[in-house]
Amino acid sequence: MMTKPIIRILAIVLLMAVAGSSMFWLSRYASSPDFHEHTIAKLEEQKLSAMTLSAVVTVASTAISAIPDDTATPIAEQLSDLSGPLLAIVCVLYAEKFLLTTMGWASTMILLPGACFSGILYLLGGWPTLRRWAFKLAILAVVLVAIVPASVGFTRLVESTFSESVNATFHAAYHLAEETQQLDEDGKNGFLSFFSGLKDNISALVSKAKSMLSIMVDAVAVLIITSCVIPALTAMLFLIVLRVLFHLPIVAMPARPPLAALLTGSGSNHDRR
């Protein structure tokens, strides 16, 4: 039968082994793009979709602005306004790729070894605070490693659940991209050839432009949900889990007194003086 000192020594050796393995072995995988190959491939696919739609928006907006009498100018302006959200989506996807490897490195090189060393100090000194910090750091390390892959997994789940509508939206957008490639080569004058048979029908041109706008808005909305909203909700879910596990209070901003109260208070103070 092992005594408590022997069990303590074995626990210390085990924690040291875990800390060393995390720093010199796990960190190589957690910070390696090859280890996150499938997650990065999904992020690259979303980034390619956003960049393709951005190019389509630019070309289509230029083409629609060529309609005579400025009939479809508002539609062209609305299309060009979609470039801003698409650029934001690309930035978010780049940030996710950066955080995927960075948080993996921070978790395996700093947080998990810190949890192990806190546990070792607890075993040596018996301070309960160090035991709590050991558990907190270990949980935080797991959360930081899992947050981006979890968001990508939720995105795949949503896309598979609504695959029919999502695929139809992007199929229409990519079909529009193929059609607008000729516009990019021919310039504004190619717009008339794009709408074959509609040269003398301005209302039909405007109707086609509205259809293009509708397709692009749907595609951008899908990208915003899958690339921005779902990762944000996933991060909020993990934050709630951390708050519950760590018993963190919700920080509330102190309410500011109304201007009338401030003026009344300053006036009364002046009267007292």
pLDDT digits (tens), the chain, 273 positions: 557 778 888 888 998 999 999 888 888 888 888 888 888 888 888 888 888 888 777 777 777 776 666 666 787 788 788 888 888 888 988 988 888 888 889 999 999 999 999 999 988 887 888 888 888 888 888 888 888 888 888 888 887 776 666 666 666 666 665 655 555 555 545 554 555 444 445 566 667 777 777 877 888 888 888 888 888 888 888 888 778 777 655 444 455 555 445 455 544 454 444
pTM, entire model: 0.70
Q: Report the C-alpha gap between 187 and 59 in whole angstroms.
A: 9
Domain limits for position 148 = 4-247
Domain contains 80: yes
Domain contains 195: yes
Domain contains 32: yes
Domain contains 260: no
Of 168, 159, 151, the closest CA to residue 234 belongs to 151
Q: Report the C-alpha gap between 234 and 39 in whole angstroms.
A: 15
Question: Would you give the distance in Å from CA 111 to the centre of its chain?
Answer: 23
Question: Would you give the distance in Å from CA 6 to the centre of its chain?
Answer: 48
Domain contains 267: no
Torsion on CA atoms 229, 233, 235, 241, rounded to nearest 10? 180
- Vertex 142, ends 136 and 146: CA angle to 5°? 145
- For the stretch 64-71, contacts whose Cβ atoms lie closer than 8 Å and that sit 24 or more positions apart, written own/partner, are 64/191, 64/209, 64/212, 65/188, 66/188, 66/189, 66/191, 66/192, 67/191, 67/202, 67/205, 67/206, 67/209, 68/202, 69/202, 71/202, 71/205, 71/206
Q: Report the C-alpha gap between 37 and 190 in whole angstroms.
A: 41
pLDDT at position 130:
87
Q: Is 226 in contact with 142 (CB distance < 8 Å)? A: no
Domain contains 252: no
The domain total for the chain is: 1
Instruction: Give the 3-state secondary structure percentages of the chain, helix then strand then coil, rounded to 5.
Output: 85, 0, 15
Cα–Cα distances in Å, from 159 out to 104, 120, 231?
A: 26, 45, 14
Of 223, 270, 239, the closest CA to residue 91 belongs to 223
Torsion-angle region of 123 (φ positive above 0: left; ψ -120 to 50: alpha; else: beta): alpha
Of 99, 91, 97, the closest CA to residue 44 belongs to 97
Amino acid found at 195: F
Q: Report the C-alpha gap between 110 and 221 in whole angstroms.
A: 38
Enter the DSSP assignment of 67. Answer: S
**pLDDT tens readout for residues 56-102:** 777 777 777 766 666 667 877 887 888 888 888 889 889 888 888 88
Q: Report the C-alpha gap between 59 and 173 in whole angstroms.
A: 13
Domain contains 219: yes
Domain contains 269: no
Count Cα neighbours of 31 within 13 Å in the Cβ-side half-sphere: 15
